[in-house]
Amino acid sequence: MWNTWYNRNVGYSRNMQEEPMVGASEAIRVLGIPRTSFYRLVDDGRIPVHEERKHRQRRPVKRFRLSEIRKALNKGEDAP
């Protein structure tokens, strides 16, 4: 019993060192971009999507990293 708890928490602390994943609503709110533009970039594949599923969820949830979104937005501004 202790080993499963320990293993779960070790993985959790290791993941906390990386940049946290956010949902679409939070990314839109933080970056201040229009919702339709955000979803167009996701559909075009310019913004990378990470699907996350917890044990009690049926469908995976789309999560994003803010640094990857900023990088995709900067690439769009550089293009003519």
Higher pLDDT, residue 57 or 3: 57
User: Which pLDDT tens digit goes with each residue over 16-55?
Assistant: 457 788 999 999 999 999 999 999 999 999 999 999 887 8
3 state DSSP class of 52 = strand
pTM score: 0.65
| Residue with the two structure tokens 């533009």 | 37
Write out the DSSP string of 15-76: HHTSPPPB-HHHHHHHHT--HHHHHHHHHHTSS--EEE--TT-SSPEEEB-HHHHHHHHHHH
Neighbour-count burial of 47, counting CB atoms closer than 10 A to its CB (0-12 exposed, 13-18 middle, 19+ buried): buried
